[in-house]
A and B are shown apart, each in its own frame.
Chain A
């Protein structure tokens, strides 16, 4: 809404500059013009949800990066006494006096119900186990190199385990597994999108800049790939990953499979941008003054496309995360020694499991939060790239 004159004009002017108070007269009459970059930052900061999402994502990534520290247990640390234990409540109130009490929990004791043959858990009220911060626990390797055994929080008694989100079939702490699973789920998004950017922007630029036969072939290939429904194509490709591969290779394979569809969208966008940019006067001027193609691409095309690529990439991350979790949920994604949010949800694929152990649905909540945050962030960035729009 950049209509000149009237209200629109004034509004636009406010957006372009900051009103400065004239110290002598006290009247706000001076304007300080902002650069485009300052405008963009301003616009982004004004978008509360995007900013909040950005901070939330930073926190989530930090937590998963230092999973060993933030998770009370390691991902494979099992306890056969507490299989499928429900989430344990963290209590802050003394039940007798009703006053505040430092965080503690009641340990759960499993008892077989002789009528239904279900293992039922009851809190042992006599025993109060305080929750400690910076507690010594299972040894782990921070960032994969530094051996350490301090965890952010945990049960003060190593024999009484604390499962704040319940545990799975082998008594492994679901919360810890979710944090470790985030490493896979969230990094798949990042790596998948890095491949998408690399392949998509290079091919998009080439086909937009040179056109001709190459462009034609590439566009037909892209159309062929995109005419398949996304998930079945992912499934077919994921099924083509040899089952005898080690889990790390499977992980890499899944990343490639996910990027295989995503690059097409990005390369189309980049091609469109290049087509319009290469007709600009400054590109013609550069060509006329004898600049090499590489230089034009580096100096004129890439800086102009960077923001669009970043926005598209940000919005492609949640798609990749959802794709990975869908594949792992169906059992054709990452393989078991690894943990991912989708793989954890695989526990809930059986209907009796979600009815008896509804806490196995918790990982989905984390997928939801990550995807929402990325969507908000992408929305914010999309507005930011175009700082003159209202």
Chain B
């Protein structure tokens, strides 16, 4: 991927060398700059040298800010990690309760509302959702800052405030998809015989639901519940289905595999 990007970098096009000294540069100045940037060497030499630098962790110097690229990356990386962590917590906090309540109160008005919302969440381009958040919540209501990042040194409250809207716009799609999956697998489990037996035995409904949540709800195939969409982050390293491109799917599938093992002993003990 980096190699592709490299071919478009100004170093590659020899003519772009004229950009830095300005349009009134003399031919001698241009020649010096070309030599400084090694543009007189053949492309493959440059490419191999550049690759070597990358491997040693030297990403070079930004042509625009003149700062080391590795420092620039390092700076944004910490923010991205914080943002991802907040977004992930949001996905879990939204998806599991919403999916469970929807399954328990199946076909009720609130269930329909949640299903419509989750569909919107899946289909909405998340950059557009972010823009909507900025106009409606940040500017309209003034609850959160419309942009920028506040470091946690300046207090936990402001830090969280600056991250909530961006994290929410990232979390919306995976949370919607995951809540659909939770709902589907909850419905599946709630119709099982051992649940009926537990009800007949007089177990409290709350206990049934919560204990299923903890142990039994094993996802059906992810295909049943979700709709694929492109993610702004996250790949699918070697996954066998294109349906779990997003974070939640992988997580849930892994959990599911784990639960499957535990499930195998379950029906015997309940019967």
Contacts and interface: CB of A to CB of B under 8 A. Distances in A.
Contact of A240 (B4, B146, B232, B242): B4
Interface of B (DSSP majority class): loop
B115 to A, nearest CB: 11
Nearest to A258: B230
B119 interface: yes
Contact of B237 (A227, A319, A361): A227
A268 interface: yes
Given A326-B127, A351-B146, A239 B230 contact: no
A98 interface: no
A240 B230 contact: no
A361 B132 contact: yes
Contacts, number: 107
A299 interface: no
Contacts of B230: 230-231, 319, 322-323, 326
A367 B229 CA distance: 13
Given A319-B228, A371-B123, A351 B147 contact: yes
A269 B119 CA distance: 24
A355 B227 contact: no
B125 A364 contact: yes
Contacts of A325: 125
B253 to A, nearest CB: 16
Nearest to A220: B238
Contacts of A233: 1
A228 interface: yes
Contacts of A230: 230-231, 235, 245
Contact of B8 (A229, A240, A319, A375): A240
Contacts of B91: none
A2 B42 CA distance: 68
B7 to A, nearest CB: 6
A160 interface: no
A351 B134 contact: yes
A233 B235 CA distance: 10
B5 interface: yes
A71 interface: no
Interface string B140-172: 000000110000000000000000000000000
B230 to A, nearest CB: 5
A372 interface: yes
A223 B231 contact: no
A109 B132 CA distance: 28
Q: Which of A240, A325, A379 has the most CB of B within 10 A?
A: A240
Interface residues on A, range: 35 or more
B237 A372 contact: no
Contacts of B131: 345, 348, 354, 361, 364
Interface string A132-172: 00000000000000000000000000000000000000000
Given A227-B235, A361-B132, A375 B125 contact: no
B8 to A, nearest CB: 5
A375 B124 contact: no
Contacts of A269: 242
Contact of B125 (A239, A264, A268, A368): A368
Interface string A213-243: 0000000000100111111110011011000
Contacts of A348: 131
Given A230-B231, A364-B128, A367-B125, A268 B242 contact: yes
A323 B128 CA distance: 13
Given A239-B8, A355-B139, A345 B128 contact: yes
B240 interface: yes
Interface in B165-186: none
A358 interface: yes
A-B pairs, 10 with minimum CB distance: A265-B242, A364-B128, A371-B123, A372-B123, A227-B237, A229-B235, A236-B1, A236-B5, A375-B227, A236-B4
22 contacts: A227-B236, A227-B238, A229-B233, A229-B234, A230-B230, A236-B4, A239-B4, A265-B228, A268-B241, A318-B123, A319-B229, A322-B125, A323-B230, A326-B125, A326-B230, A329-B125, A351-B147, A364-B131, A368-B120, A375-B119, A375-B122, A375-B123
Interface of B: 1-2, 4-5, 7-8, 119-120, 122-125, 127-128, 131-132, 134-135, 139, 146-147, 227-242, 245
Given A268-B240, A326-B230, A355-B139, 11 more contacts: A229-B231, A236-B4, A240-B8, A268-B241, A315-B227, A325-B125, A326-B232, A354-B139, A361-B135, A368-B124, A379-B227
